[in-house]
Chain A
Amino acid sequence: MTHALRASTFVADAERTSWHDETLWFVRQKRDKAVYAVPEFQELRELASQIKEHTLSRLDEYLMQFEAKAQRNGVQVHWAANAQEHNDIVLDIIRRHGATRVVKSKSMLTEECHLNPHLTGHGIEVIDTDLGERIIQLREEAPSHLVLPAIHLKKEDVSDTFHLHLGTEKGNHDPQQLTEAARQHLRAKFLAAEVAISGVNFAVAETGGVVICTNEGNADLGVNLARVHIACMGLEKLVPRLTDLGVFTRLLARSATGQPVTTYTSHYTKPAAGKELHLVIVDNGRTQQLGRPDFRASLKCIRCGACMNTCPVYRRSGGHSYDFTVPGPIGAILSPNIDLKKHSSLPFASTLCGSCTDVCPVKIDIHTQLYKWRQVLAEAGEIPAAKKWSLQFMGRLLASPTAFGIGGRVARTGLRLLPYRLTHSKTFNAWAVARELPEPPKQSFREWYRETGKV
């Protein structure tokens, strides 16, 4: 199924689409306000971009430096080539501790690896503790946004879900009370958990430590109560120096939600006395992406979600229309690297307006990469054959002035002479579903110019 098809289902609910669009636009506006207030914001974007580019250009060295430092800090480092290895490693650590109760804070990597079904399939209870993630976990849905995983839901939906699973009062939609119910429910899970899994926002090569950013405090609460902490990170999370965090912490929350910083910016460097800290470094296609000059810049991503909030297509089609762990513009340039065929429609789910590129805090040329993936897809035969043929036909037409002149006249005359219900048939002409065709003039410009000649 294509993005267009799933999107058309989403947008069919006009009222909900308005709500989704306006809610995310509001987040974009909060981001703007925060960004305008920092005079050096554009300089920070450039610095962040350069730091990430430099890190990628010495990635192997920084990975080794990071590993050595982390090990010296008493951290156990694991390497996973792919999702399966990642899941096996995590399960193995949990089993070695004989644990069955696991809490997990937000991690798009573990979503990408489908860790939860793997663990539950082996008898482990794994509870997502970020409120949004817990909501969708109870509903057995995928996140629809990088940092606002339940943004596709309204409070009535959450209320129904909590009534069903947490026994809250039916019809009580108050976000404050729903959040309090989740707090009570999850507190019990935090207190009982033996192992806590977290994602990683930044990994610092020179210290061997990792940084986790949350607003809810769920990562810290889970990790610091459990005996074992497993932090899972994509290998692109590295930055060279501790001071680089000054740049990234100033960019991340402002870009994501318009906050000046996340509530908790927590630095985990050594395990607590008597406890264990494990780091799982995951590749899962990342080094392959590193080898694609046109697309490697996508590895600079810090998962802020700003490109989603600004994307006019995302806001009107919803995160699930992308059918990939990371939705929106950034997902549309990451996904073809994972499965070109399955995600072939995503690079086309864009008008190439470029707003994503302009909000990106690490200056990823997102819309240019979308354009380039389209070329790769067409070369690989992953665009519909009919489209390809008509475009090739158009190519020959447009390379020949004579054919172009004739073709244009035929089209324009046809449009003038054919009956309205045929030219505006919703079956044959997608344009005409919601739009009138332009009124064809008697003369084209070139005909006018030839006849009139002069101004």
Chain B
Amino acid sequence: MAETITQGVPALRIEGLRMVYHPGLFQRRKLALHGLDLEVPKGSIYGFLGQNGAGKTTTLKTLVGLQMPTAGRAWIFGTDIRESASRAKVGFMPENPYFYEYLTARETLDFYGRLAGMPRAERRRRGEYLLERFGLGHAKDGSMRDFSKGMRQRLGLAQAILNQPPLVLLDEPMSGLDPLGRRDIRNEILALRDAGCTVFFSSHILSDVADICDRVCILHEGRKVAEGRLPKLLGQRVLEVQMSASGVPKEGLHEAAKLARRAWHDGELYHLLLESEDLALKAKEAIERGGGTLRRLVPHHESLEEYFIRVTREGDVARLAGAEEGSAAPEAASAPGPRGGLGA
């Protein structure tokens, strides 16, 4: 990427970010963020997950200066977000991006290029390149009124990476797109990471996040409920273990089958589904004692969706328990956001 980045400094650091909305005189204040701490390493793809109203968009808007935090601080490559210079290192794509309808796609990118301080020749070259790359070449001189949602989304990504910023913040980049559109955006995110860019994006399409993210943070009602590298988070809990063995005498097989949730015979192989790694080890010993040979042992970890549902439920339980003990802050009970399913 074009920017010179200070070595050893994270792409993004957030400390105690808190946002309280005061809607009006007679309305309850709303707590959108409850002291968020976060660090995004350089060159990673970071997924920012949460239900609707969890505080994802609030965080992103705060990072790019669209909202003023009630408390807390954040730095982009070491520059405080309160300084407008921090935004020179960021490309931002809002959710469902809107553009001036009286401009063409080419004029739109030229306008954003001017705001980014790009020279005219560079604006033209980069704009043309991105329009072609995002499959908008045929519509570059057409009115923005005729752009479909998918085309707007692609133009949104193009304007975010126009000046090749080292950090790209994307708010729900795959929202409302068809499978092909989602695949294109996913591939672009991967290409950005390969080019050395850090990508921080919010989403509630968990399969997309699981496919491409190095790290994730799960936000629930303004609080961080989980954070870390995906393989580590999902590898912590084994839901079941599938075992396959051959040459097991009937008495040994019988002993192992008692430990399994399910056991069935398939030709030469005998399969077992076990509830935990401990049981799997015991079953393995039983099989080997009986003269059998272990052929396959596959632990099944939680999927991201299962993990997400579990930690958000645990977050609810902890919050309710805290409220019962009277230890919860008064605003916590007024935290905004629907409690429905993902993407509801």
The answer to whether A and B belong to the same complex is no
**Footprint of A on B, CB under 8 Å?**
none
